[in-house]
Amino acid sequence: MQEHIYIHKQISHVHKKLDFSVVPISFFNFFFVAAISALFISLSHPTHHNLQNNLLTVKTYSSTNRGPASFQIMSKMLVCGLLRLLIAALAGILLFNGFCFSQTAPKYSFMHQATSAPALSYFDYIIIGGGTAGCPLAATLSQNATVLLLERGGSPYGNPNITNLGSFGQTLSDLSPSSPSQRFISEDGVISARARVLGGGSCLNAGFYTRAETRYVNDVGWDGRLVNESYTWVEKKVAFEPPIKQWQSAVRDGLLEVGVNPYNGFTYDHLPGTKVGGTIFDVDGHRHTAADLLQYANPSGLTVLLHASVHKILFRVKGKKRPTAHGVVFRDAFGKKHRAYLLKRGPKNEIILSAGALGSPQMLMLSGVGPSDQLKAHNITVVLDQPFVGQGMSDNPMNAIFVPSPNPVEVSLIQVVGITNFGSYIEAASGENFAGGADFGMLSPKIGQLSTVPPKQRTPEALAKAIEAMEALEPAVFRGGFILEKIMGPLSTGHLELKNKNPNDNPSVTFNYFKEPEDLQRCVNGLKIIESVIESKAFTQFRYDYLPLPVLLNMTANAPINLLPKHANVSTSLEQFCKDTVMTIWHYHGGCQVGRVVARDYRVLGVDALRVIDGSTFKYSPGTNPQATVMMLGRYMGVRILRERLQG
């Protein structure tokens, strides 16, 4: 009894010390990168104990105390003690730096800084956004036309944080104005990121490569043969088969053991059951991005301008039955204004928006195409009242469970996926911390976005103390990984609105996660599969027998992974767990949907010489991960547009 009281007091003391009400931190990566912020909190207090001793104490206590009260105490001990394990393991997954490699830039003679651009220029096609769709689109169109590709960010080449698998989290944690990643927070309270670099989201994501399901292709109305040819065109440059090691193998075998069948082996295809998908990381752990697809380009037909921020699409209205896009205004890194126009020869010349699910609807509105009341509120001249611009915004919600491991695990991102028959996809990631140096990347007390040392308090003494605490970590705390689920679709939708007239600022976006009951049920069903995998025979070597699932759920839910209010003991309700721990995996889409804003050929309805080709046109996210299909779409539509041009 005395021991019971003593432990209870110690737990209460720990809870008081572990104050997560400080500056809200985000979920940047495909799992709980946000939770890493708590690492400094836990390490900066005297309650930081030897983790192995803590786990041993819990194991001993759990074996001798079986009542409800003892279970509550054990749960509290684990929520406090293992939260440090959760956060530290996240740091390991994100900060593995066993190698340092910086991909050298291809000899792109057509790539320049926007500061070198003339004040006035003319092209057959002007593409706004050099991202996942824009790069393959530009490379294709350049074969038979002159193309200007305007990218607001810089080059991915020469940046090891983009190239190296182990540096995956560091680019996402960089909040500087020149960062390849631009943070945004949805009105739902979920923190995310959008790309600001040539190659777009393919420079920032977890690298999983898989095609859309056949039904998706048929429903959209794409030409199946050209779709397959376009996927193959992409895969020759950027897709690889990943090496499957112990953690991913256990997840694969666990999925099969609990009934996510059949096993489809390694394939890019979307097939029900369990499979190993592709990756854009090669065998050496080096990322290949959509920017690599520019190797296909005709150098004499393409001009790529970096740090070129487009402010407006220009329309001709006078003497036209419909507004006709004919040019753009963009500014370089020094703020100097440039104009680029479509060549007047031939009626097939067009401006193409490929700025992504946030950027494309935002640019349409800034150019006068959108809901008239919203445009007028920002003093924007209405070119076309289009109420559907910015509508239908969706993000596939993701939820995960952290599993501390008694054995070492490999560093892995998404490699295995379980495609269930109820609309939930199961994936996993794992890692250990081999980070060297005193800065600790994204956790750096000096510059790291996830540091809990506020900028104004970063005295030499405070920094030295924080770094010393991090260096005291034991290897055991870095063992573990995540099993996550995300839902297909989703059915829940929201909207996007302008905040101001600055194209470099984020618009306001609401996704309405789990607004539709079917989305919530898919999440619950997916979590049940994850629980079964954790308890499977195949996963035995990667779990502690004395850590029950309710403790794992509560431990995960207590991490600061979003800005939503927390509820106690969410392990009693998977529905509440889904709502409280919702995160993004960056599969947001919509805002310029086919049938509402653009036609099936991606021409903007109501205006001429303007298309939108990117994920903003999707009603649902394709397959388990959309990047392969977005790259395919760029190539696919480039071929279709050139065919129209030659036939015309």
- Give the largest Cα separation in the chain, rounded: 90
Which of 266, 293, 296 has its CA nearest to residue 628? Answer: 293
Only one residue has tokens 């994204």, namely: 442
Q: Judge whether 594 is annotated as a binding position.
A: no
Two structure tokens written together for 617:
């046109």
Two structure tokens written together for 194:
């959008």
Two structure tokens written together for 272:
């029900």
Task: Report CA-CA distances (Å) from 165 to 71, 135, 506.
Answer: 40, 22, 27
Q: Judge whether 310 is annotated as a binding position.
A: yes
Q: Judge whether 586 is annotated as a binding position.
A: yes
Describe the strand order of the beta sheet including 324-331 as a list of residue ranges: 120-123, 337-342, 324-331, 309-316
Task: Report CA-CA distances (Å) from 301 to 108, 138, 139, 559, 621.
Answer: 12, 9, 9, 51, 32
Describe the strand order of the beta sheet including 424-430 as a list of residue ranges: 263-266, 273-276, 416-419, 424-430, 480-487, 398-404
587 is catalytic: yes
Choose the catalytic residue: 307, 338, 587, 589. Answer: 587
Q: Judge whether 285 is annotated as a binding position.
A: no
Residues 337-366 as b/e (b if ≥16 CB within 10 A, e otherwise) read ebbbbbeeeeebbbbbbbbbbbbbbbbbbb
Helix axis angle, 549-557 relative to 517-534, nearest 10°? Answer: 130
Q: Judge whether 615 is annotated as a binding position.
A: yes
Residue 441 CB contacts under 8 Å (≥ 6 apart), including other chains: 94, 95, 97, 167, 169, 170, 173, 435, 448
Determine the Cα–Cα distance for residues 528 and 550; give it in Å rounded to an integer: 12
Residue 10 CB contacts under 8 Å (≥ 6 apart), including other chains: none
Whether the CB-CB separation of 165 and 243 falls below 8 Å is answered with no
Which residues fall in the annotated binding site for FAD?
Answer: 197, 310, 586-587, 615, 626-627
Which residues fall in the annotated binding site?
Answer: 197, 310, 586-587, 615, 626-627
Positions annotated as catalytic residues are: 587
